Amino acid sequence: MYYLYFLANASLTLRVTEFLHNVDHLSVGFITVIHQIDGWIVRVKLNDPITPQQHGDFVAYMNELGIPYEPEIRVQMALWSLETGQSPIDVMRRYQVAVVSHGDPDKSDIESFRRQFTRGLGYCPETLA
């Protein structure tokens, strides 16, 4: 089962990754985080089926933080390529997307990206807050 959401900033993205890292009742296969100029795309794949109650609870949680996302073809192809095992660097080059994290939920990837991006700009854009 997949969930694909658009989040407004890094803080919300960090909340999702931390939640998925700490939750016991969801078997997370992987999480993919892509940064775009206007926000963050988060895709979550669960390994095992979940109950309708768990699905409803997770969707409610995600809807509080972001909005369901329908990706353009370039992002769809990038997400599919990552899932089929292509390296994030190859995917970034081919599809011109910023893959921040792919695999186990890891907030350190997002925090590092935010630090490096902000340092390079000299200020912190709203999406990196």
pLDDT at 124 over 70: no
Q: What is the set of domains in the chain, with CATH numbers?
A: 2-106 (3.30.70.1950)
49 - beta bridge partners? none
In tens, the pLDDT along 64-117 reads: 999 999 999 999 999 999 999 999 999 999 999 999 999 987 888 888 888 887
In tens, the pLDDT along 10-26 reads: 999 999 999 998 888 89
Report residue 129's pLDDT band, with 50, 70 and 90 as the boundaries: low
Do residues 5 and 15 touch, judged by C-beta distance below 8 A? no
Structure tokens at 16: 């999702």
- Classify 84 as helix, strand or coil: coil
pLDDT at 46 over 90: yes
Q: What is the pTM of this model?
A: 0.90
Among 68, 118, 33, smallest CA distance to 126 is for 118
Q: Which residues contact 46 (CB under 8 A, 6 or more apart)?
A: 1, 2, 3, 26, 27, 28, 29
Q: What is the pLDDT of residue 118?
A: 76
Q: What is the DSSP letter of 25?
A: S
